[in-house]
Amino acid sequence: MSASRKLRVLGEPAYRRLFAGRTTSLIGDGIAPIALAFAVLGLTGSATDLGIVLAVHSVVLIALVLVGGVVADRISPRRAMLGADLTQTATMGLIAALLLTGEAEIWHLALLYGIDGAGTAFFNPASNALVPQIVPERRLQEAIALLSFSRWAGKVAGPALAGVLLALTSPGVALAVNALTFAISAACLWGVRAPRAGRGGEEPNFLRELRHGWREFSSRDWLIAIVVSAAISNAIFYPAFQVLGPTIANDSLGGSTAWALIASLWGVGGLIGGVVALLIRPQRPLLVSEGFVLLLGLPLLLLAVPTSTALIALGALVAGSTVSLAEVLFDTVSAQHIPQQALSRVTAYDWFGSLALEPLGLALIGPVAAAAGNSNTLWVAAAAITLCQAAVFLVPGVRRLETTATFDPTPTPPPRPVEAGD
């Protein structure tokens, strides 16, 4: 299909609003980790304190993500996402206000960023489930690829904007801009309407719905394998990258500007991966995606040396592209093989499992690096991630699962009316 035909999914009014809102808020999300990192380093200079703030966010997200999945399936993904956006507008606005007035303490940042994590717990499962409701199946991979492109665009524009804002103003101003992006996202979602998936004749019951989601999740070996692998890799990679990365940049690479460049190139890599995902349609998507993810540890190896900022940024670009491609192919397979009425709950189990060990990694990375040294910690982290990703290929479903959707090469008909049924 031509590039223009692949973009026709933007002709769906509900999807276009979702895309605009997500793109805006994701730019803000790209600002937050960098602004918070240098806010914490400015207050205490402690990598351990930074790890604690990030860990609180992850703990709350993990604790509530299963609840978020059930709620999204019950009240509609769009409503869950709207509530999450409004919550995150308030919490990031309060963090910004505390920093700008000079009243911020570490416990303030940890508490409010933890509440922001609650918003993420409700937003993410709902976001995955909303897309199949508002686009035709033949456009599903294009829709998911464009949202991935949007997510990674935020990881380019967000860090770049953060670098400018931190150079010219302060972390408080940067986080105020982040709060504004959530408000814009909420305004876009306000106009989205989607039909609700059928739920059958049973009365809603939280535990029953949770058990049903678990059955759908645990019956698929490929899903379990990838989520377990992601749990271990996330517990190692993101703490090492997000905590030791800024610390090394602050100590030996020139500070926030160098780290903003590295983080931006991570996002550029994601954009490249999104473009590739828009253009290819492998018959065995998980085999392809998991093969590329073997390169995830590259930026950690380059930080361990450490080499120049430019080379570390190039490594981040390569790793980001592999993660982006893998996300699109995995999300497409999930949407094709999991019943739509259970997709939020299954996605919630995915998020729960994938992030379950990350708070532990965030809490331990500072003390471990203090004892073993930043370089040794990063070398071991890169090796462990590579071995973990390679083990996924032992699972037959990862190697053999094939795409099931049919993609009609004929021109797309005019956008269908979107029901206002939620």
Neighbours of 253 (CB within 10 A): 21
Nearest alpha-carbon partner for 41 in 201, 221, 311, 244: 244
Query: Which tens digits make up the pLDDT trace of 48-86?
Result: 788 788 878 878 888 887 787 777 777 777 788 888 889
Report the topology of domain 3-192+206-400. Answer: Growth Hormone; Chain: A; (1.20.1250)
Q: Are 216 and 342 in contact (CB under 8 A)?
A: yes
Most confident of 37-46, 257-266, 320-329, 380-389: 380-389
pLDDT value, residue 56: 86
Rounded to the nearest integer, the mean pLDDT of the chain is 79
Is 129 within 8 Å of 336 (Cβ atoms)?
A: no
Among 162-176, 284-298, 332-346, 401-415, which is the least confidently predicted range? 401-415
Weakest-pLDDT range from 94-103, 134-143, 324-333, 347-356: 134-143
Are 230 and 354 in contact, with CB atoms under 8 Å apart? Answer: yes
Nearest to 154 by CA among 293, 25, 283, 67: 25
Gap between the Cα atoms of 374 and 385, Å rounded: 17
Task: Quote the pLDDT of residue 412.
Answer: 37
At 173, list the tokens: 């101003």
Q: What's the one-letter identity of residue 20? A: A
Q: CA separation (Å) from 162 to 159, 270, 311, 408? A: 5, 18, 21, 42
pLDDT mean over 292-320: 87
Q: Is the pLDDT at 126 greater than 90, yes or no?
A: no
- Interval 368-388 mean pLDDT: 88
* Cα separation values, 143 from 86, 185, 222, 298, 363, Å: 24, 18, 23, 29, 36
The C-alpha atoms of residue 192 and residue 190 are separated, in whole angstroms, by 6
Work out the average pLDDT over 339-354: 75
- At residue 150, does pLDDT exceed 80? no
Record the tokens describing residue 60, joined without a space: 């709350």
Amino acid 281: pLDDT: 76
Give me the mean pLDDT over the 323-335 stretch.
Answer: 82
pLDDT at 197: 52
The domain segmentation of the chain, as residue ranges, is 3-192+206-400
Q: Which of 288, 25, 290 is nearest to 155 (CA)?
A: 25
Which range has highest mean pLDDT (353-357, 362-366, 389-393)? 389-393
Residue 93: is its pLDDT beyond 90? Answer: yes
366 vs 100, residue with greater confidence: 100
pLDDT at 135: 74
Q: What is the pLDDT of residue 98?
A: 92
Q: How far apart are the first and last CA of the chain?
A: 33
Of residues 242 and 376, more confidently modeled: 376
- Would you state the pLDDT for residue 120? 84
pLDDT in tens, 204-255: 567 777 787 788 787 788 888 888 888 888 888 888 887 888 878 877 777 7
Higher pLDDT, 132 or 166: 166
Model pTM score? 0.64
pLDDT single digits (tens) 112-124: 999 998 888 888 7
pLDDT for 319 beyond 60: yes
Distance CA 315, CA 145 (A): 22
Cα dihedral sign, 248-253-259-263: negative
pLDDT of residue 202: 53
The 10s digit of each residue's pLDDT in 183-204 is 998 888 887 776 555 554 455 5
Q: How confident is the model at residue 333 (pLDDT cuts 50, 70, 90)?
A: confident
Share of the chain above pLDDT 70, in %: 89
pLDDT at residue 179 in the model: 92
Q: What is the pLDDT of residue 363?
A: 76
7: DSSP letter: T
Asked if residue 15 has pLDDT above 50, the reply is: yes
Q: Is residue 409's pLDDT more than 50?
A: no
Q: Output the pLDDT for position 204.
A: 59
Residue 173 three-state SS = helix
Percent of the chain with pLDDT over 90: 8
Candidates 360, 252, 339, 261; CA nearest to 303 is 252
- In order of 209, 255, 358, 365, 382, the CA distances from 323 in angstroms are 31, 26, 17, 22, 15
d(CA 131, CA 133): 5
Q: Which residue has the higher pLDDT, 258 or 407?
A: 258
